[in-house]
């Protein structure tokens, strides 16, 4: 499983080049895209197509290749295979056959975007491409809306405005979103703004709606989801302030978690929001 550049062809590891140059077969999501990379580095191997429509059939062929001693490298068009790209079914089939699968790490659009997002949330949930049906999309977003995590979404240019609208509707326009488009490419753009302003930003310039997108919605205001509002004590903030006056934040969060049954990490984040200067 070989990670390849997102756009800039220099973003490839030496190990990846070694594997691609020595593999008997390079299986590729789009052979035309992969051929550009191989040609750039003087690798003569002709790629074999493996995409969402033929992955199950190709899995049997790859298994046979491996059993006869041939080596196979799988790549997607960009980034890490099997992460919102073909590959997971192939990996499952090869593992079920008792054969090894080796990761060759490298570029990943989600991680690249997170690294420059400046998130308040300490954790993130990767949602990949959201469902296209509005009901299914809204149900998924509603199920994660109150988690104390940043939410990472991939999106295509023809759907990005609609998806931004759904994110704002379900998650709330006050939450911050990082829009990262065309990562590592010539027109790379990375902005952070409230979700309520994101659709306007996209509409202000047609070129802003072009390219491949990573959308990162930062965690809920206050840093975390404390719990069911009906179940949380009405004077929770007062309790947390009192504990933080007497105890270090970590200890205060532990005591509050024992007393309320709420998540310690979420309580700790709330204490830091209430008393940022606490020791």
pTM: 0.79
200 and 249 co-located in one domain: no
Interatomic CA distance for residues 162 and 134, integer angstroms? 10
Residue 228 in this model has a pLDDT that exceeds 70: no
| Residue 95 or 238, more confident | 95
18 and 114 co-located in one domain: no
Domain-located, residue 32: yes
115 and 212 co-located in one domain: yes
Domain-located, residue 4: no
CATH code for the domain of 74: 3.40.1010.10
pLDDT at 224: 46
Domain-located, residue 48: yes
Domain with 63 in it: 14-96
pLDDT tens, residue by residue, 153-181: 999 999 999 999 999 999 999 999 999 99
Domain-located, residue 9: no
pLDDT at 136: 95
pLDDT at 240: 87
Domain-located, residue 223: no
23 and 81 co-located in one domain: yes
pLDDT at 145: 87
pLDDT at 236: 78
Beta bridge partners of 128: 153
pLDDT at 257: 81
210 and 240 co-located in one domain: no
Which of 2-6, 204-208, 234-238 shows the lowest mean pLDDT across its residues? 234-238
Q: 146: which 2 tokens? A: 């109150």
SS3 per-residue string spanning 177-206:
EEEEECCCCCCCEEEEEEHHHHHHHHHCCH
84 and 113 co-located in one domain: no
83 and 123 co-located in one domain: no
Domain-located, residue 227: no
Model confidence band, residue 12 (pLDDT cutoffs 50, 70, 90): very high
Residue 226 in this model has a pLDDT that exceeds 60: no
198 and 114 co-located in one domain: yes
Residue 196 in this model has a pLDDT that exceeds 70: yes
User: In Å, what is the CA distance from 3 to each residue of 75, 81, 136, 137?
Assistant: 6, 6, 30, 29
Residue 231 in this model has a pLDDT that exceeds 50: no
196 and 119 co-located in one domain: yes
What is the total count of domains within the chain? 3
Interatomic CA distance for residues 28 and 17, integer angstroms? 15
Residue 276 in this model has a pLDDT that exceeds 80: no
User: In Å, what is the CA distance from 119 to each residue of 114, 115, 220?
Assistant: 8, 9, 11
Domain-located, residue 242: yes
Number of H helices and number of E strands within the chain? 11, 8
Residue 89 in this model has a pLDDT that exceeds 90: yes
Residue 214 in this model has a pLDDT that exceeds 50: yes
CB under 8 Å to 70, separation ≥6 — which residues?
A: 24, 25
Domain-located, residue 1: no
CATH code for the domain of 138: 3.30.950.10
Model confidence band, residue 278 (pLDDT cutoffs 50, 70, 90): low
Crossing angle (nearest 10°) for helices 134-144 and 160-171: 50
123 and 211 co-located in one domain: yes
Phi and psi at residue 189, in whole multiples of 5°? -140, 130
CB under 8 Å to 164, separation ≥6 — which residues?
A: 177, 195, 198, 199, 202, 215
Work out the mean pLDDT of the chain and round it to a whole number. Answer: 91
pLDDT tens, residue by residue, 117-148: 999 998 999 999 999 999 999 999 998 888 88
pLDDT at 279: 62
Cβ-based neighbour number of residue 246 at 10 Å:
9
Contact present, 50 and 86 (Cβ < 8 Å): yes
């Amino acid at each position: 499983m070989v990670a390849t550049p997102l756009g800039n062809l220099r973003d490839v590891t030496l190990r990846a080049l070694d594997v691609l140059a020595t593999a008997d077969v390079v299986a590729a999501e789009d052979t035309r895209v992969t051929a550009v990379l191989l040609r750039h580095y003087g690798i003569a191997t002709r790629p074999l197509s493996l995409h969402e429509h033929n992955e199950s059939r190709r899995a049997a062929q790859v298994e046979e290749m491996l059993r006869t001693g041939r080596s196979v490298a799988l790549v997607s068009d960009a980034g890490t295979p099997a992460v919102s790209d073909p590959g997971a079914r192939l990996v499952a089939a090869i593992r079920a056959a008792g054969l090894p699968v080796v990761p060759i790490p490298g570029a990943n659009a989600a991680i690249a975007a997170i690294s420059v997002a400046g998130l308040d949330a300490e954790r993130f949930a990767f949602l990949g491409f959201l469902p296209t049906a509005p009901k299914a999309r809204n149900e998924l977003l509603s199920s994660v809306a109150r988690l104390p995590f940043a939410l990472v979404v991939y999106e295509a240019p023809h759907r990005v405005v609609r998806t931004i609208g759904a994110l704002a509707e379900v998650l709330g326009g006050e939450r911050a979103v990082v829009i990262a488009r065309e990562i590592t490419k010539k027109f790379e753009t990375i902005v952070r703004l409230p979700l309520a302003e994101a659709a306007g930003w996209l509409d202000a310039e047609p070129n802003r709606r072009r390219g491949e997108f990573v959308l990162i919605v930062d965690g809920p205001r206050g840093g975390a989801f404390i719990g069911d509002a009906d179940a949380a004590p009405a004077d929770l903030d007062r309790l947390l302030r009192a504990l933080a006056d007497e105890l270090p934040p970590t200890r205060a969060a532990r005591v509050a978690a024992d007393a309320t049954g709420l998540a310690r990490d979420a309580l700790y984040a709330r204490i830091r929001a209430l008393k940022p200067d606490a020791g």
